[in-house]
């Protein structure tokens, strides 16, 4: 019994030393220009013997050893002046993110008892709104690419700088969408489905503008999307009008070129005719002189 009691804490210690904890991959999604914090979560304060190693893919980008934080970079310098590591908790912050910061991040936390791994999949979305162009009378479908939309509680669509959602689903109150009845512009023309995609039916030119989607949930990061909608008047599209204008300009240039070429040829022809006429006149004058001289001699002989 005594030996068993002695062996039990030893086994626990050995299991802790060689134990490795790995969490599931956490999803981080944000817009370009925002900051993101990748947290170690399990650490309240680092001890001297604790080690932190952050990797982007297979490249080490930050470490803390013996309470000494160090930052590194990739060969293409994508993290230059953008990383910050908390020397108390080991949390890594990426500031002013770019789409090139999207990828797989992993932190290895080692102390005297065990090693912990945390993994993150970070997606940095382009801040440029998705463009949607339709002709007046058609439907405009604003379809996002948020894969885990079902885990969010609130889905809201805003138009331009409005503070009131034009369409929303609040699962805490109802699973059915609601619309802003005070906004006459969209009355009876909005359709919000359970996936969060918004359809504007029977569009008008006044529907052109910036539409913003925001999805929110409990203890999960908020996600945002934006769409730039352009509604053209019925008739020829802008692209076709531009093409027609280009063709007309090209045709005018061709006609002008042909006219200039003909004028040049005509001028050259006139010069050639003038040269020929001048040569003939000289020849004729000589002949007339010769003929006149012959006639005078004939008259003198007769006299």
- Spell out the domains of the chain, with CATH numbers in brackets: 25-125 (2.60.40.10), 130-232 (2.60.40.10)
End-to-end CA distance of the chain: 177
pLDDT at 58: 94
pLDDT at 278: 61
φ, ψ for residue 209, nearest 5 deg: 155, -170
Do residues 213 and 169 lie in contact, with contact meaning Cβ atoms separated by under 8 Å? no
pLDDT at 94: 96
- In sequence order, what are the residues at sequence separation of 6 or more whose Cβ sits closer than 8 angstroms to the Cβ of residue 25? 104, 119, 120, 121
pLDDT at 237: 60
Which residues on adjacent β-strands are paired with residue 228? 131, 210
pLDDT one digit per residue (tens) for the chain, 303 residues:
444 444 444 444 444 444 566 678 998 888 888 899 999 886 667 888 899 999 999 999 999 998 899 999 999 999 999 999 999 899 999 999 999 999 999 999 998 888 999 999 998 988 889 999 999 999 999 999 888 888 889 999 999 988 899 999 998 888 899 998 888 889 999 999 988 999 999 999 999 999 999 998 887 778 889 999 999 998 766 677 788 889 999 999 988 888 888 878 777 777 777 777 665 444 444 444 444 444 545 554 554
Both tokens of 104, joined, read 């797989």
Measured CA to CA, the distance from residue 149 to residue 131 in angstroms comes to: 21
pLDDT at 263: 79
Closest C-alpha to 52, from 106, 1, 100, 12: 106
């Amino acid at each position: 019994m005594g030996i068993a009691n002695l062996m039990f804490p030893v086994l626990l210690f050995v299991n802790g030393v060689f134990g490795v904890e790995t969490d599931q991959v956490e999803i981080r999604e944000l817009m370009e220009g925002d900051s993101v914090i990748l947290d170690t979560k399990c650490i309240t304060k680092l001890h001297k013997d604790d080690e932190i190693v952050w990797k982007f893919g297979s490249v080490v980008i930050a470490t803390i050893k013996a309470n000494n934080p160090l930052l590194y970079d990739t060969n293409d310098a994508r993290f230059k002046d953008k990383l910050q590591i908390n020397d108390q908790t080991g949390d890594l912050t990426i500031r002013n993110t770019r789409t090139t910061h999207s990828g797989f991040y992993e932190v290895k936390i080692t102390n005297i008892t065990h090693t912990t791994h945390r993994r993150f999949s970070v997606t940095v979305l382009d801040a440029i709104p998705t463009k949607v162009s339709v002709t007046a009378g058609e439907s405009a479908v604003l379809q996002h690419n948020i894969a885990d939309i079902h885990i969010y509680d609130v889905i809201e669509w805003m138009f331009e700088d409005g503070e009131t959602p034009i369409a929303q689903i609040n699962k805490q109150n109802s699973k059915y969408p609601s619309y802003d009845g005070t906004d006459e512009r969209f009355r009876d023309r909005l359709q919000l489905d359970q996936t969060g995609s918004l359809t504007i039916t029977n569009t008008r030119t006044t529907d052109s503008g910036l539409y913003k989607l925001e999805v929110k949930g409990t203890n999960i990061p908020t996600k945002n999307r934006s769409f730039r909608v352009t509604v053209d008047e019925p008739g020829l599209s802008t692209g076709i009008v531009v093409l027609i204008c280009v063709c007309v300009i090209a045709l005018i240039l061709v006609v002008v070129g042909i006219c200039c070429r003909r004028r040049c040829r005509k001028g050259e022809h006139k010069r050639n005719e003038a040269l020929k006429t001048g040569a003939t006149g000289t020849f004729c004058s000589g002949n007339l002189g010769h003929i006149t001289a012959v006639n005078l001699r004939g008259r003198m002989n007769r006299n």
